[in-house]
Amino acid sequence: MPHEITLIPGDGTGPELIEATRRVLEATGVEFAWDRQEAGIDEYEAHGNPFPQATLASLRNTGIGIKGPTTTPVGSGFRSVNVLLRKELDLYACIRPCRAYEGVRTRFPETDIVIVRENTEDLYAGIEFERGTEGNARVRECLAQLGSSVREDAGISIKPISVFGSERIVEAAFDYAARYGREKVTAVHKANIMKFSDGLFLEVAREVAARHPEIEFEDRIVDNLCNQLVSRPEEYDVLVLPNLYGDIVSDLGAGMVGGLGLAPGGNIGTHAAVFEATHGSAPKYKGLNRVNPTALMLSGVLMLRHLDEEDAANRMEGAIAAVIRKGERVTYDLKPHRDDPSAVGTSEFADAVIEEMNE
């Protein structure tokens, strides 16, 4: 039986990245029944909705999607498709492995970490009160009654972190560690300052860790973690973080392993999972067959593992790693100089991976 998968090309460079990734996934020999669905700015301009009901219905039906990046206009237009997607499908865990492949120029070649970011709570919950509004005045009034004063000209964002949200994300981190033979989970927080939000996250993390004695557990304050990651990356394994720190440390991890073109991701919930690169739609390269498909292809590898297609996942990751190690048929961002004339395009990189897999 083929795996039914919702395929969302997205916009900007998304469609060319998805096409390259789809070809490589099919070349593994695993059978897929793709349900192609639209999302993003092109769909918004054509039909007035960046995230059609049909796309959501398909994801609900298949339970698994692979998605190209989608543009979110700054300041106006529509809400982020990614935020809607995570909310609608309750994709609470964002898994982002950051592994430095041989052949990539990086100062941190020992890096092999997995970031497990909570996706639904924290300062990203969208509970905000704009300066000068009635809601803001009422919140300040309430705070004043509770003994905390906030300046009249302040904007306010609320940071909720719950036992429920913390427990399921830390469990997801331990599950990942157990499933993929990882030895240690590090909970990352700022509990010394935010005692009742990050403090709760840490307390719950310790309780969950006690249920998994076979896996080592430790915690780090987020600023110290950033320092240590760039000094001794080899000491870190699986990191579990609340939403905001997870977002920031994900980009740090992507930079450590050679850039956004190499950083994959998966957003996992109880009933659905959507795999996509960490990077955005890179619109200035749209249609140029130029950008690096590695991040989306490695997201495809995560999808194969999620589907229990471990052998195909290993072959695909091995072929991508070999192409990068050889350094010949790679995109401009993996060349010593960005204007290197020997750089290949998105599609030719996919050809190289397919040939490597078939050897």
47 vs 14: CA distance, rounded Å? 19
Q: Which is nearer to ligand NAD, 199 or 327 (CB)?
A: 327
Q: Is 90 exposed, middle or buried (0-12, 13-18, 19+ CB in 10 A)?
A: middle
Q: Which of 122, 198, 247, 333 is catalytic?
A: 247
Q: Which is nearer to ligand NAD, 232 or 284 (CB)?
A: 284
Q: Which of 180, 195, 223, 308 is catalytic?
A: 223
Q: Nearest distance from residue 334's CB to ligand NAD, in Å?
A: 9
Residue that is written with structure tokens 């052998």 in the block: 311
Residues 239/252, Cβ–Cβ less than 8 Å: no
Q: Which is nearer to ligand NAD, 72 or 289 (CB)?
A: 72
Q: Nearest distance from residue 124's CB to ligand NAD, in Å?
A: 14
Residues 11/71, Cβ–Cβ less than 8 Å: yes
Q: Which of 42, 101, 122, 190 is catalytic?
A: 190
Q: Is 175 a catalytic residue?
A: no
CA 104 to chain centre: 20
Q: Which is nearer to ligand NAD, 57 or 288 (CB)?
A: 288
Q: Is 193 exposed, middle or buried (0-12, 13-18, 19+ CB in 10 A)?
A: exposed
Q: Name the residues that contact ligand NAD, by CB under 6 A.
A: 69-72, 82, 260-261, 276, 279-284, 291-292, 295, 333
Residue 18 phi, psi dihedral angles, 5° rounding: -65, -40
Closest CA to 204 of 160, 237, 171: 171
Q: Nearest distance from residue 188's CB to ligand NAD, in Å?
A: 21
Q: Which is nearer to ligand NAD, 165 or 345 (CB)?
A: 345
Q: Nearest distance from residue 320's CB to ligand NAD, in Å?
A: 13
Q: Nearest distance from residue 322's CB to ligand NAD, in Å?
A: 19
Q: Is 236 a catalytic residue?
A: no
Strand order of the sheet with strand 112-118?
32-36, 3-8, 64-67, 273-275, 266-268, 93-99, 112-118, 238-241, 184-189, 216-221
Nearest residue relative to ligand NAD (C-beta): 280
Q: Is 44 a catalytic residue?
A: no
Q: Which is nearer to ligand NAD, 58 or 281 (CB)?
A: 281
Residue 240 phi, psi dihedral angles, 5° rounding: -120, 130
Q: Nearest distance from residue 200's CB to ligand NAD, in Å?
A: 28
Containing H/E element for 55? helix 53-62
Positions marked catalytic: 124, 190, 223, 247
